[in-house]
Structure 1
Amino acid sequence: MDRIPANIGLAHLSALDLPPVKLLELAKRVGCASVALRLHSAAPGTPVYPIAPDSPELFVLKKGIAATGVAVSEVELVPLAAELDVTTLDPLLDVAADLGATGMIVTGDIADRNLLVDRFGTVCDMAQARGLKVHLEFMKWRHTATIHDAREVVEGAGRANGRVLIDLLHLFRSGGTVEDVAALSEGLVDLVQVCDATAKLEGDIIAEASGGRLVPGDGALPLSESLAALPGTPDLALEVPARGTGPAAREDFLVRCVSRVRGLLD
């Protein structure tokens, strides 16, 4: 990285049981400057906090942003599936822009690569009209499974606001390497989600991603090397579902995670 980012964000997965305003308050207490909000369903049955434009919930959330000083960085998580009617994303994009977010996080869930490139490009155009980026996140169990898949889609779409999102857990569980990170062109990655994990997968990969991540530095992933290899200066977000019982234990856990990330950067 060319320089150390001043701020660390908090991904909603780190405390997905909390509604948006409570997440803002938690982020402030643990030392995070921004949050990514789960305003769109990532999968059936998973927690989600939809907010409509010009709604009372949006008004309350904007008051929370002003009160805490914690920004909303991205809204998430939109699976780009073949059956998705992209016009249904207009309200989400309007809310993102109203909140002052910088982008939206999506996944690639279409097997036909040409169709996915076209769909991603269309969503990028919709987001660009609102001044937003679109971050494509890859996961081993999705059709866009690797860093190479995501790069092909983003570069194929050729939109100025299209980005690859790197979650370091997904990078290494899908066979990615530090060299793959170093090979990326500057400007292709604006957001990196940080956590740690065991050297080899132990159990179910989705269960690990949703609840088995480790505090940065407690596992075996080459975190320092990966961050050093990043071109440019992407934003960093902590994505580690907090362990422990009760609010105090969760806060202590996340404070330790934030401290570890800053230590990796130093």
Structure 2
Amino acid sequence: MGDLNRRQMLKTIGLAAGAAVIGETASATDSAPKTGDGFVYSLNMSTIRGHSLGFVKELEVAAKAGFASVEIWIDTLQTYLKGGGSVTEAKKIIDGLGLKIEDAIGFAPWLVDDEAARKKGLEQLQQEMEMLAKIGCHRIAAPPAGITKGPVLDLDVVTERYLTILKMGEQTGVMPQLEMWGGSQNLKHISQVLYVAAQTGNANARVLLDVFHIFKGGSSVESLDYVGHHALDIFHVNDYPAGINPEVISEPDRIYCGDGVAPLKQILQKVKNVERPLVISFEVFNKSYYAQDALTVAKTALAKMKAVAS
């Protein structure tokens, strides 16, 4: 052990745990273009959501800004379909722009404690997974929507419910990413989502972490040393300003990478994977950005992501 420093030892523990339970499986990022720095750069459409561009124009802005990967919002896609669009046409547009839909953001209440509500949530999630599969999206976020204010669930109960949607994901080809929300009473810490993912014993279990939520929920950045590369396909990046306590910081406070005080370089050093590039997706809800030109915002986001990741 004398040849291992503390960080190496922690990473060894984390990777061993991940390999034993979560496993190294083929994922959508296996075929992602290698960027040379261990990352694939993605735009979460939350960043330009306030511009109200609509599904197609959001994709066009992302592509024009230089992104090859994006995260879409399910409600925006559904609005497009209700307005006369089709999944077939959506797939053609996506392919024509040279984009890859890495993930979709949705809020189906799959975890809630009310049995009837959870059943409806599972039906909603099933429909969303089937829709996403048709446009070539193979992941969907699975946050603790609907149960952020409690009651606090036993993690073994959460594990059972996550395993249920993992099996749905295996059937549809759209895998749920267990998302940590720092402001929630459930799944607010890295340790909690990691426990659930590992406890499923399912090789397809994945966790979705976020720079903002790590700070908001009070998780230590050092906790990332326990998260093996197997558990991460996507990582949300952003920054936050100085002088705001975790208890009061809110979603609109998110800012461009490098413009705040988040230890981004340290975080990215811990999670990067040069063998299977990690998708880092820029996610903010900044009202001042919504007042600016959408293309300028997207271009700035990409440039600042690359600057902190280099």
In structure 1, the residue matched to 2:4 is none
In structure 1, the residue matched to 2:265 is 224
The gaps in structure 1 that reach 5 residues or longer are 41-46
Does residue 213 of the first structure (1) align with residue 257 of the second (2)? no
TM-score, with normalisation over the residues of structure 1? Answer: 0.85
Decide which of 257, 260, 264 is 2:304's aligned counterpart. Answer: 260
3-state DSSP class of the match of 2:295? Answer: helix
Aligned CA distance change for structure 1 residues 132 and 228 (closer, same or farther; 3 Å): same
Higher radius of gyration, 1 or 2: 2
In structure 1, the residue matched to 2:55 is 20
Shift of 1:193: 0.7
Does residue 195 of the first structure (1) align with residue 238 of the second (2)? yes
Shift of 1:236: 0.7
Within 5 A, what are the aligned runs for 1:147-186?
147-186=190-229
Decide which of 66, 72, 83 is 1:31's aligned counterpart. Answer: 66
Within 5 A, what are the aligned runs for 1:122-141?
122-141=164-183
The gaps in structure 2 that reach 5 residues or longer are 1-10, 12-33
Aligned CA distance change for structure 1 residues 231 and 184 (closer, same or farther; 3 Å): farther
Shift of 1:200: 4.2
Shift of 1:186: 2.4
How large is the RMSD of aligned CA atoms in angstroms? Answer: 2.7
3-state DSSP class of the match of 1:28? Answer: helix
Q: Sequence identity of aligned pairs in percent?
A: 21
Aligned CA distance change for structure 1 residues 29 and 200 (closer, same or farther; 3 Å): same
More displaced stretch, 192-201 vs 79-88: 79-88
Shift of 1:241: 3.1
Aligned CA distance change for structure 1 residues 163 and 6 (closer, same or farther; 3 Å): closer
Q: Count the aligned residue pairs.
A: 256
Shift of 1:230: 1.1
Once residues 208 and 195 of structure 2 are traced to their aligned partners in structure 1, the CA distance between those partners, rounded to angstroms, is 13
Contact in 1 for aligned 2:215/2:246 (Cα 8 Å): no
2:159 counterpart letter in structure 1: V
Once residues 303 and 131 of structure 2 are traced to their aligned partners in structure 1, the CA distance between those partners, rounded to angstroms, is 32
TM-score, with normalisation over the residues of structure 2? Answer: 0.74
Shift of 1:190: 1.2
3-state DSSP class of the match of 1:84? Answer: helix
In structure 1, the residue matched to 2:118 is 84
Shift of 1:145: 0.9
Once residues 283 and 129 of structure 2 are traced to their aligned partners in structure 1, the CA distance between those partners, rounded to angstroms, is 23
Cα deviation code 1:136-181 (max 9, x no counterpart): 1111222111111111121122222111111111012211222111
Does residue 240 of the first structure (1) align with residue 284 of the second (2)? yes
